[in-house]
Amino acid sequence: MNSYKESHDLLDICKLAPVIPVLVVDDTASAVPLAKALIGGGLRVLEITLRTKNALDVIKEMVANTTEGIIGAGTLLSEEDVYAAKNAGASFGVSPGITDQILRACAEVKLPLLPGAATPSEVMNLLARGYSVQKFFPAESNGGIAALKSILGPIPGVSFCPTGGVTSTNALDYLSLKNVPCVGGSWVAPQNKIKNADWQAITELARQAYSLNEHFNT
């Protein structure tokens, strides 16, 4: 895998919408209506975290039944997770941190990866391997906006998708940074809304999140 090319593919994905929903989905039956609700609100790029027993089936359902969605697998912790995500049809992967095993597996199956980094050293190590688009995680716990501003000065060649503590309240502040094309967040699909199948409410939350684009020249 050419990580330089894959990173730029991911940058294009990140620019499709200001917010990537980070989704924890227990019920496979919720997969398609949830995806359609979010896509209907303008959020086409979805991250399904591998935190539930049905996560891979959720990815399969979304991939098979939504034509406009770009479905990724989050919380990749091992090479087995990478293989499973690829087999489920994921278009990209997201990891909270990084290991050599995950990098090798993603290269092997050609799965574009948004690798997690939390320190300048981790950012530099990933950049040296060609990953110019990274997940800053956990964002708020690691200094949030101030930290990303500080990283921008000495390491301007990396774009970040901050995730972890990003909310509807602070998302715009993150997106105002030159090195942040998008953020990851769970507020657009609250668990109670998913459980109650309140797809209209989720579409409205997605629409509000997408409207953050109006503050920038995209």
Domain holding 9, by residue range, is: 3-213
Mean pLDDT over 187-211 rounds to 97
Distant-in-sequence contacts of 109-115, Cβ < 8 A, 24+ apart:
109/82, 109/83, 110/1, 111/1, 111/82, 111/85, 111/86, 112/6, 112/7, 112/9, 112/10, 112/13, 113/6, 113/10, 113/76, 114/10, 114/72, 114/161
Domain with 97 in it: what CATH number?
A: 3.20.20.70
Residue 106 has pLDDT above 50, yes or no: yes
pLDDT tens digits, one per residue of 56-77: 999 999 999 999 999 999 999 9
Counts for the chain of helices (H) and strands (E), in that order? 10, 9
Residue 22 has pLDDT above 50, yes or no: yes
Tell me if the pTM is above 0.75. yes
Half-sphere exposure of 187 (CA within 13 A, CB side): 18
pLDDT of residue 218: 44
Domain count, the chain: 1
Mean pLDDT over 79-106 rounds to 97
Q: Find tokens 């294009």 and name the residue.
A: 12
pLDDT of residue 214: 83
- Summary mean pLDDT of the chain: 95
**Is there a contact between 86 and 111 (Cβ–Cβ < 8 Å)?**
yes
Please report which confidence band the pLDDT of residue 215 belongs to, taking 50, 70 and 90 as the band edges: confident
Residue 210 has pLDDT above 90, yes or no: yes
Residue 218 within any structural domain of the chain: no
User: Measured between alpha carbons, how far is 39 from 41 in angstroms, rounded to an integer?
Assistant: 5
% the chain with pLDDT above 70: 95
Name the residues annotated as catalytic. 47, 135
Q: Mention every residue, 6+ apart, whose C-beta is less than 8 A from residue 188.
A: 19, 21, 38, 41, 43, 202, 205, 206, 209
Please report which confidence band the pLDDT of residue 208 belongs to, taking 50, 70 and 90 as the band edges: very high
Residue 170 within any structural domain of the chain: yes
Bigger pLDDT: 5 or 168? Answer: 168
Residue 6 has pLDDT above 90, yes or no: no
Question: Which of the residue ranges 1-10, 69-78, 119-128 would you say has the lowest mean pLDDT?
Answer: 1-10
Please report which confidence band the pLDDT of residue 1 belongs to, taking 50, 70 and 90 as the band edges: low
Please report which confidence band the pLDDT of residue 4 belongs to, taking 50, 70 and 90 as the band edges: low
Mean pLDDT over 142-156 rounds to 97
Residue type, 206: A
Residue 55 within any structural domain of the chain: yes
Residue 124 has pLDDT above 90, yes or no: yes
pLDDT of residue 2: 65
